[in-house]
Amino acid sequence: MQRRPNGQSTIVYSVAFLSDGTLIVSGSDNGSVRIWNASTGAELRKLDGHSDKVQSVAFSNDGTRIVSGSRDKSVRLWDALTGEELRKLNGHSDKVQSAALSSDGTRIVSGSDDWSVRVWNVLTGEELRKLNGHSDKVQSVAFSNDGMRIVSGSRDKSVRIWNASTGAELRKLDGHSDKVLSVAFSNDGTRVVSGSSDKSVRVWDASTGAELRRLNGHSGCVQSVAFSGDGTHIVSGSTDNSMRVWDLVAHSNLWEFSSHGWIISLPRRQHLMWVPPEIMKMLNTQNVLIISSEPPAKVVLTVSRIGSGWAACYTPRRYPSS
């Protein structure tokens, strides 16, 4: 079934569902924020106030509030039931590209072309924190579900994780070769996904900053990414006019660990490298060896709890003959 909401005649930059799927909010080229009935496509409310394109919209978890970010440099908070503007948050000196509410609805995070990430108090409109660190425009921001961390993606090609309370930068995730356009936490907060102008989708360990997956397939910039609720899938949208769903469980089977110590690529059954069997037996979620799916292979030992042990045993003379 496909529905096309009536009344939207301009470019739509951002859309979001209410958590129960009954409502949709959209932000558009003409500065308006609109609320729609998801079943009928009927326009329920038009929220006017922004004086430029609305780049980002989102519902609060309970559906009573909407946050919007605009090229007019402002972040606005709206009553989703009445359409009343509750807060206008001023502070950014350039376009606001992304805005999101914490799961408890008490804070807003925003990212801007002024290179900053800012955290706001919903009740008072006060700016609580200004997070500096990015060296270019901030394209995307999100809270972790517990509200303790913030993730941001920037045109400086980096993904950064911040302490939402103190503003301290916890991790800088480097790997993308072009602008980072979208970021999101998994529901359990253990992973971050990012989409970039380098056409890749990447999955990161939110605690260590290690790159866990690089998902290639798009032929255009990856504009939007998100995890499924159970964290087993990622959806991505691109300027190549496609949306892709990635099965993270299936992608975990790119390699096979043999009982003889060989790590074998699938499906070609190529022998990639050998690890002493006594070390292989110690593998668990904190002792992970990550190998790129594309040549040249790069092995990073420092992400493992027993990284020094890996390095000490991994020498050419320990290789068995193939």
2 lies in some domain: no
Please check whether residues 202 and 282 belong to one and the same domain: no
Please check whether residues 200 and 271 belong to one and the same domain: no
295 lies in some domain: yes
Please check whether residues 70 and 123 belong to one and the same domain: yes
The pTM (predicted TM-score) of the whole model is 0.74
133 lies in some domain: yes
Q: How confident is the model at residue 164 (pLDDT cuts 50, 70, 90)?
A: very high
Q: How confident is the model at residue 70 (pLDDT cuts 50, 70, 90)?
A: very high
Q: Which tokens sit at 94?
A: 């350039």
Q: Which tokens sit at 99?
A: 């805005």
Q: How confident is the model at residue 208 (pLDDT cuts 50, 70, 90)?
A: very high
Above 60 in pLDDT, residue 270? yes
239 lies in some domain: yes
Please check whether residues 142 and 79 belong to one and the same domain: yes
Calculate the CA dihedral of residues 187, 74, 14, 27 and round it to 10 degrees: 130
Q: In the listed set 193, 228, 251, which residue is the last one of a domain according to the structure? A: 251
Cβ burial, residue 304 (10 Å; 0-12/13-18/19+) = buried
306 lies in some domain: yes
**Containing domain of residue 278, as a range?**
258-318
Q: Please state which of the ranges 58-67, 82-91, 163-172, 305-314 shows the lowest mean pLDDT.
A: 305-314
- How many domains is the chain partitioned into structurally? 2
Please check whether residues 71 and 182 belong to one and the same domain: yes
Q: In the listed set 227, 251, 275, which residue is the last one of a domain according to the structure? A: 251
213 lies in some domain: yes
Above 90 in pLDDT, residue 150? yes
What is the reported pLDDT for 254? 47
Please check whether residues 144 and 214 belong to one and the same domain: yes
Q: In the listed set 251, 272, 291, which residue is the last one of a domain according to the structure? A: 251
Determine if the peptide bond prior to 296 is cis (ω within 30°).
yes
**CB environment 171-200: b (16+ within 10 A), e (fewer):** bebebbeebbbbbbbbeebebbbbbbbbbb
Q: Which residue has the higher pLDDT, 314 or 202?
A: 202
Cα 311 to its chain centre, rounded Å, is 32
Among the residues of 45-160, which ranges form H helices?
A: none
Query: The CATH number of the domain where 60 resides is what?
Result: 2.130.10.10
Please check whether residues 276 and 134 belong to one and the same domain: no
Please check whether residues 157 and 246 belong to one and the same domain: yes
Above 90 in pLDDT, residue 162? yes
Q: How confident is the model at residue 258 (pLDDT cuts 50, 70, 90)?
A: low
Q: What is the DSSP string of 127-188?
A: EEEEE---SS-EEEEEE-TTSSEEEEEETTS-EEEEETTT--EEEEE---SS-EEEEEE-TT
Please check whether residues 152 and 296 belong to one and the same domain: no
pLDDT digits (tens, 9 = 90+) for 16-29: 888 888 888 999 99
What is the reported pLDDT for 132? 96
Please check whether residues 179 and 122 belong to one and the same domain: yes
What is the reported pLDDT for 41? 85
